[in-house]
Amino acid sequence: MANVYLTGAGPGDIELMTVKALKVVQKADVIIYDKLANPEILKEAKDNVELIFVGKEKGNHRVPQDEINEIIYQCSQKYENVVRLKGGDPFVFGRGGEEALYLKERGVGFEIIPGVTSAISVPAYAGIPITHRGVTPSFRVVTGHRKSSDNIADINWSSFTEDETIVFLMGLHNIELIVSKLLEVGKSPNYPCAIISNGTTKNQKVITGKLNTIIEQSKEAITPAIIVVGEVVNLREELRWFD
């Protein structure tokens, strides 16, 4: 019986990978990995491991999700230790639930190894706490990337009126729509926001602005990037430590 590990690789900095994730990578017979997992992690694998890249990029879905599900399943029939390695956490917009259900339907057991999600760690490396007493008591994490712009427009934007921190993952290419929807539900044009590219890595870049400036500023940003919207962004000047 194969051991299948749906594994979070963390946000980028290899030292933010969990001990448990490292252990399964080191014993893996095959690693099925994506673009957001730090490639340095693969150096921890044993010499005879099989590596299968299934990464996705905007406009170029190298391997469709349905095929990834089947690859994991087929590997479970061939290898003893199968690691599906994902950037961040497998259950935070990582399609880990879909992969787990696919295996479950075929009678294959699996283990979920949570990863440090970029939704919290990347703002922290930018000096932005997503909650702060007296500023905001709550946060939400939202996908900025749906199958189409029409689908992201279908998000219940009217629920975004509270003064909480909003973290959009994978939303850079939809930033105009995100900004317009937030303004539409009553957010001030001067509401603080930030774009963080390549968070937790040596190539990290942070752009801070307001809703009425961030679209123009976003032209200087690159993917992978997250968008943080909220008053906590103003704390960056005091708390920026990684720069």
Write down the CATH superfamily of domain 118-239. Tetrapyrrole methylase, C-terminal domain (3.30.950.10)
How deeply is 203 buried, as exposed, middle or buried, from its count of CB atoms within 10 A (0-12, 13-18, 19+)?
Answer: exposed
pLDDT at site 17: 97
Task: Give catalytic residues, as residue numbers.
Answer: 34, 56, 170
Domain with CATH 3.30.950.10 in the chain: 118-239
Per the document, the length of the chain is: 243
pLDDT at site 151: 57
Q: How is domain 3-113 classified at the architecture level of CATH?
A: 3-Layer(aba) Sandwich (3.40)
The CA angle 70-75-8, to the nearest 5 degrees, is 85
pLDDT at site 55: 82
Using an 8 Å Cβ cutoff, are 196 and 121 in contact? no
Which residues of the chain carry a pLDDT beneath 50?
Answer: 148-149
Domain with CATH 3.40.1010.10 in the chain: 3-113
Q: Smallest Cα–Cα separation from 81: which of 2, 18, 8?
A: 2
Q: pLDDT, tens digit, for every residue of 94-140?
A: 999 999 999 999 999 999 999 999 999 999 999 999 999 999 999 99
